Each structure stands twice: as C-alpha cells, then as structure tokens.
Structure 1
C-alpha cells in the first residue's frame, strides 16, 4: 500500500478540496428527540458519521446526529485496491475517516470495477452494518466520479441533511427554546447572532471593492479564525445561492 496523501491531493485536482469535514458528535441533548426517518431513502453522509453511528435498540437501524441510517451515500478517494480473484477489497477515505469496502465479481463476466484504481474519487452507496465491532457497508455499489462538482454537491447535501436532522432534534428536545444553536462543524465559532456563512458573505462583500481579483479563501479563514476547508464549503453554498462568484483566481471569491 502506498503512503497516504492528503484527501483532495490527487491528480484530478478538484478545485475545492475537503480535508477535514465531518460533524461534531458532542453536545447531544439528553432527552430523546424525534428522528429523521430515512428507511426508504438514500442519505448523504460522511464516513465519520457512518463510523460513529450506533444501534439504539438491538437489530434496529444505526443512528447518528438524530439520523436513522439505512441506505447511505458518500464520496471519497480510493486509497488501496486488493484483487482477490472473485472479490475486490477497496479502501475509501474522505478526510473524515476511512472504510474498507468489499465487492464480489462474477468471473464469467467482465469486471465492472476495472476503472476503480488508487487515487481516484468514487461515489459509494450501500447499507450500514457492523461485523466484529467494525462498521461496513453491505450491498455496496462503487462508481468512479467523472465530474469534480459531484464531490462538492455531495458535501453540500450531507450538510443539508445534517442541518435538517439537527433542527428536528432541537425543536423536539427544547420546545420553545428555538433560539439555541449548535455549530455545523467542529470548532466553528459564532460571532453574536451572526451565522458563520453570513460572516463569510459579509467579509467578502466588504473586501470585494478593494480585491477585484477575488478575496482569497485563506485570507477569509485567517481573518475570521475559521478552518480553510469550512470556508470552502460555505463559499460553495453561497455560490449556489448566487450571492458570490469565483474571481479571476480560483481560490478567491467576489460578492455579487
């Protein structure tokens, strides 16, 4: 197995890298919240969420962050592929954790996973299970990601799923105390009542006139005391909402 490189550091050179990711599992409420039901749906998650999920009842669904996980999807980089003739063992890592996936091959047919090689980005789906105390994915499907935007879209989808589930949990547990807020990411500070994404937008808006080439992501992160990867995620959402756009420099943004 080759030495690991940072997630996002491969030759595909996707413009938005995700090296930390994941969500904070701390600060869970003590009372039992309502859960987001995902029995018949595909839930976008990070590998960290899969690894940290637990069964609240024996033989029940796995749960994390107020989400009941049945079928999940995640994206990541292939770190290792081992060919065992009729079976492929594939290790996938997304910057928040890694999973060892196993797919079976019909030797009488062509290998549908011939394009799955070390260093490429892949999209994976399957059912969360546990064997010998270790999480794994059953009925797994793996395909190569051709469009780098799919990595961004997946992370935004995972964030949206997380926010929705957290809001349901907070409303169920706290009732009228709807003003209580929790950060999306580990160690993301709030400034008063202004959300992180609004702080980023305000900062870009204020600096756009003096930085016509684009306000650099690293400058935003340093000035607001945020993680660079979290700034990238929020900028992706602001771009989708047509509030900002890429400047001449791919690592800089301008307000609309």
Structure 2
C-alpha cells in the first residue's frame, strides 16, 4: 500500500538538520492528510506563527469530504465541506495572474485556479490547501479542489489520515518496531487500535482484528460486511432493523460507537452512516 512505502510526508523523523526544522523548509512543505475534526481543533497560532497538528508543524494539508454548500463571490468561491468528523469552509481563489497572491475579503492571499463548475452540493471532493485564520475564524485556502471520481478514495483517505495521526502520536506501528528489533509497546490490550498484526503493519483494529469484541460487536460488523456495498455506507437504522430480534436499539448504538472509537468503523456522509475500515470489505 502506497502510504506504507514512505512518501515525503510519512518520514516524520527523516532529516535531522536545522534546515528541515525551519519554517518554510522542505519538511514543513510536505503534504499532510487530515480529517476536518483535526483542523477544527487546531489552536489559533500567534500572528504569522506556525500551525501544529499532533505536535508537528504543518503547512499543506489534504482531505476528502462532501460539499454541503457553495457560495459564489466575485473573487472566490467558498465551499462548505464535511467529512463526517466536522465541517469547514474551503476558499478557492479565482482570476488574477498565475502567481497566486490575490487578496481576498479576509485579507489573505490565495492560489488562483479555474473553478470547476461540476463541483456542486452533494459531490465529493478532494481538497489541497492551507489552514488559515482571520478574525478568529478558520478556513482552508485551497491550492486545488477536484472531484472524487472513485469512491474507494473516500475510505482510503480516511484510513490514510488515521495512519498518519497514529504514526505521529505513537510512533511506528508495533509490528514495524519489532521487525526493526525495537521492543513492542506494552500495556496495549488485544482490542486496542494499536495492537500488533493487521494489514497496515501493526494498527490492527483499523483492519481485521476481532480480538476483544463481544458478540454484538461482531454482529454489527457482519451486518455491514454482508450488505450491498455503497459509497455512503450503511445507515445505523438499517443495522438496528437487521438485529432487532437479537439486540435492543440502544445496545446497537453503543456497539457502533465502540466500533468507531476502536477504529473498526467510521462515519461517512453524516453520523448516521458508517463503513467498515476492514481492508477486505
């Protein structure tokens, strides 16, 4: 899988010289996959200060989400984009010269691009840009917004963001550390998102790690995996209907929340739709 092979943004510890640590250096120009929740939770930096996620300075970010609204203005277009974890405004600056740098109504320069008329409400898009703050409000100044044509990308991008977050906050996966001769992390139960094994080199519960699951957890996953595939996932109400003879509605809700927190499921278009993170789905 490409995200394990070590692109520029994956090498969190690569290069120890001071040039890589300076603002605007190569290390800080790399592309960081994120969720919108991570962007919403970022603390506003001091004037012209760097922005940090998971303790790492970031500049360029990317994420996938669904367009909830479109506001066409004279110098830019504002897309309200949601990814199931949160919602944020994405500004696309139009017109001007090829150098970027037009000043928008928030006083910030942005990269110019052709606005795609096919990007409308309800369409999934992949966003590339920078997180900006102005008058206490945050938005993404976009370098590029493109339509998602393969809905497998929605699941892939979500898992990519999870992997990078765990790699940044907890270090390499245990299985990779063991291969390198380093001791495994102790104190992690079999049901942990960080347990060893799994197709992503040790982030077991992100894939097919059923250890620590109860019968209802396994039943919820079975309903999802045996249902016809759909890019929006399966409605939680449908799961409750399928399991109505075995479990109460509140029990299914609690099981879904547990599976999401452990990395087995994730929300798609909203909090009522879920998909499995299993590589075998």
TM-score, normalised to structure 1, is: 0.58
Change (3 A) 1:235 1:151: closer
Are the aligned partners of 2:126 and 2:145 in contact in 1 as well (CA < 8 Å)?
Answer: yes
Residue 7 of structure 2 corresponds to none
| Residues 55, 61 of structure 1: 8 Å contact kept | no
The DSSP-based 3-state class of the residue aligned with 2:264 is helix
Report 1:78-97 matches (<5 A): 78-97=67-86
Q: Is 2:29–2:58's contact at 8 Å kept on the other side of the alignment? A: no
> Could you say which residue in structure 2 is the equivalent of 1:66?
55
Q: Structure 1 residue 136: deviation in Å? A: 1.6
Structure with the larger RCO, 1 or 2 (CA within 8 Å, 6+ apart): 1
Matched, 1:194 2:191: yes
Equivalent in the alignment of 1:149: 152
Deviation per residue, 1:196-249 (Å, 9 max, x gap): 528853489x99xxx9xx822357x9498342654335985542xxxxx34xxx
Residue 50 of structure 1 aligns to a residue whose secondary structure is helix
Residue equivalent to 1:77: 66
- For structure 2, the residue ranges without an aligned partner over 5 or more in a row are 1-25, 98-112, 173-182, 194-204, 225-238, 244-250, 267-273
Task: Give the corresponding residue for 1:163.
Answer: 166
Residues paired across the two proteins, number:
184
Rounded to whole Å, the distance in 2 between the matches of 1:124 and 1:42 is: 11
Task: State the TM-score, normalized to the length of structure 2.
Answer: 0.53
Per-residue CA deviations over 1:119-178 (Å, capped at 9, x if unaligned) read: 111100111221111112224311110100111110010000110111149xxxxxx995
Q: Is residue 128–residue 138 contact of structure 1 (8 Å, CA) maintained in 2?
A: yes
Alpha-carbon displacement from aligned partner over 1:61-87 (angstroms, at most 9, x marks no partner): 211322322110011111111222442
Structure 1: distance between partners of 2:120 and 2:158: 22
> 1:20-49: per-residue Cα shift (whole Å, max 9, x none)?
xxxxxxxxxxxxxxxxx9512110101111
1:231 maps onto 2:280 in alignment: no
**8 Å contact 1:46–1:158 — kept in the other structure?**
yes
- Secondary structure of 1:150's counterpart equals helix
1:53–1:236 CA distance, 2 compared to 1 (3 A): same
Instruction: Decide which moves more: 226-235 or 93-102.
Output: 226-235
Is residue 2:127 matched to residue 1:116? Answer: no
CA distance, structure 2, for counterparts of residue 202 and residue 193 of structure 1: 5
Tell whether the 8 Å contact from 2:126 to 2:148 is kept in structure 1 after alignment: yes
1:195 deviation in Å? 2.1
| RMSD across aligned positions (CA) | 4.1
The within-5 A match list for 1:1-256 is 39-54=28-43, 58-106=47-95, 112-168=115-171, 178-179=185-186, 192-196=189-193, 197=205, 200-202=209-211, 215-217=222-224, 218=239, 222=252, 225-227=255-257, 229=260, 230-233=263-266, 237-239=277-279, 245-246=280-281
Segments of 5+ residues of structure 1 without an aligned counterpart are 1-36, 170-175, 182-191, 240-244, 247-256
